[in-house]
Amino acid sequence: NRQILLASRPFGAPDPDNFKLAVTDKPTAKQGEVLLRTVYLSLDPYMRGRMNDAKSYAEPVGLGEVMVGGAVCRVESSLNDDYKTGDWVVAFSGWQDYCISDGKDLLKLSDNLPYPSKALGILGMPGLTAYMGLLDIGQPKTGETVVVAAATGAVGSLVGQIAKIKGCNVIGIAGGAEKCEYAVNTLGFDHCLDHYADDFAEQLSAVATAGIDVYFENVGGKVFDAILPLLNSCARIPLCGLISQYNATELPEGPDRMAMLMGSLLVKRIKMQGFIVFDDYGHRYAEFSQQMSKWLMAGEIKDKEHLVTGLENAVDAFIGLLAGKNFGKVIVRVGPD
C-alpha cells in the first residue's frame, strides 16, 4: 500500500521534499468495514491550504500523515452489508492505494457509469462549486456580463458554460493562448483573455464594454485588481477561491487597496459572498447532479480532464496545478479498474 505523506510544511510553493512516499501493508477490513482500492484520485487547490499549520475551515494535515483528498474507489472486499465487492464509491480516502472505511462517508456510484472519474469533476465537488456559486450567489440574468478566471480549469470551465446556458455574455481569463483559444472555440465563451499579457487590464476593459455584473472569483491578485473598476452597480461576486495567493509568503507590493475595495463595494452596492461548497451546498447535491448530468448527456456542457498516470506522479501534478500547468480537472489514475 503506497501512501504519500506530508513530510514538511512548505514556505511558498510546495516542492517535492515536502512529501514522502511510504509503503505499508495492505490494510484489512474488520466487521462493518470495507477495503477500498483507489482508482482515481482528485487533486485540488484546497490541498495547499491543508499543508499549512493554520486554522481554517478544515484541520490541517499533520506531519507524517497521508495527504487528504477525494477519490473514486472500488470496494475490494466488504464486511459491511451496504456495500459489495466491486462497488464504485467516492471516498475522502487520500493519496494512497488502499484505505478502510466504515461506509458512513461514502457516496455510492451507479454500477454502469461510463466514466467514473467524472464524479470527481463535472459531476462532483468542482461541478457543485461552479453550479451553486454561480447560480445561488452570482444570480446571473440573461444579457448580463459574467467574468470567470481559471477559465479552463475544473470550476471555471463549468461556470462559464452555465453562464452561457443562462444567456450571459461570458468573458474568461486564463493563462496563455492555448487555454484562451479552447475557452472560446470549444467551451463557447464570448471572449477569453490571457492574464499574463502586459496589457491584460486594458484588454479586459476593451471587451467588457457593458461593465461586469458577475465576477466569479477563483484567483484574486492582479486579476481582481483589473476587475474591480469595471464592476457594475449591484454586481455579485461569488468568492470561491484565491489561488494566486495560496503560495504567497508576504502581502502584495504597492499601495493598500483595502479602502478602494470597500469604497467600491459601498458605492456600487456590490455583494461579495464567500462559500465552502459542501458546508453550504452539500444538501443540494441531488438537485445539482440531476441538472448537470442532463446538460452533460445532451452535450450542452463539456468537461476536460487532465489525467496523470500513477500515484508516484501526484506530487509533480499537484505542484503544477498551483502553477497553472494543468489544462482541465486534474485526476490521477492510481489503480486499475
Task: Supply the minimum distance, in Å, between the C-beta of residue 279 and ligand NDP.
Answer: 8
- 172: three-class secondary structure by DSSP: strand
Please state the φ and ψ torsions of residue 84, each to the nearest 5 degrees.
-125, 160
CB of 75 or CB of 332, closer to ligand NDP = 332
Sign of CA dihedral 291, 137, 124, 36: negative
CB of 165 or CB of 248, closer to ligand NDP = 248
Sign of CA dihedral 50, 51, 56, 62: positive
Task: Supply the minimum distance, in Å, between the C-beta of residue 327 and ligand NDP.
Answer: 7
Q: Who's near 217: CB < 8 A, 6+ residues apart? A: 149, 224, 237, 238, 239, 240, 241, 242, 272
- 66: three-class secondary structure by DSSP: strand
CB of 94 or CB of 153, closer to ligand NDP = 153
Q: Who's near 131: CB < 8 A, 6+ residues apart? A: 158, 162, 288, 291, 292
Q: What does the alpha-carbon distance between residue 194 and residue 23 come to, in Å, rounded to a whole number?
A: 42
DSSP 59: P
CB of 45 or CB of 140, closer to ligand NDP = 45
CB of 49 or CB of 211, closer to ligand NDP = 49
Task: Supply the minimum distance, in Å, between the C-beta of residue 196 and ligand NDP.
Answer: 8
Task: Supply the minimum distance, in Å, between the C-beta of residue 305 and ligand NDP.
Answer: 10
Strands 107-108 and 98-101 come out as unpaired
CB of 38 or CB of 326, closer to ligand NDP = 326
Residue 135 CA to its chain's centroid (Å): 17
Strands 19-23 and 2-6 come out as antiparallel
Task: Supply the minimum distance, in Å, between the C-beta of residue 140 and ligand NDP.
Answer: 18
Q: Give the interface with ligand NDP as residue ranges (CB under 6 A).
A: 44-46, 126, 129, 149-150, 152-156, 174-175, 179, 195, 218-219, 221, 223, 240-244, 275-277, 321, 324, 326, 329
CB of 80 or CB of 152, closer to ligand NDP = 152
Task: Supply the minimum distance, in Å, between the C-beta of residue 96 and ligand NDP.
Answer: 21
CB of 242 or CB of 265, closer to ligand NDP = 242
Task: Supply the minimum distance, in Å, between the C-beta of residue 219 and ligand NDP.
Answer: 4
Q: Who's near 41: CB < 8 A, 6+ residues apart? A: 69, 70, 71, 95, 311, 314, 331, 332, 334
Task: Supply the minimum distance, in Å, between the C-beta of residue 89 and ligand NDP.
Answer: 20
Residue from 154, 183, 148 nearest 329 by CA: 154
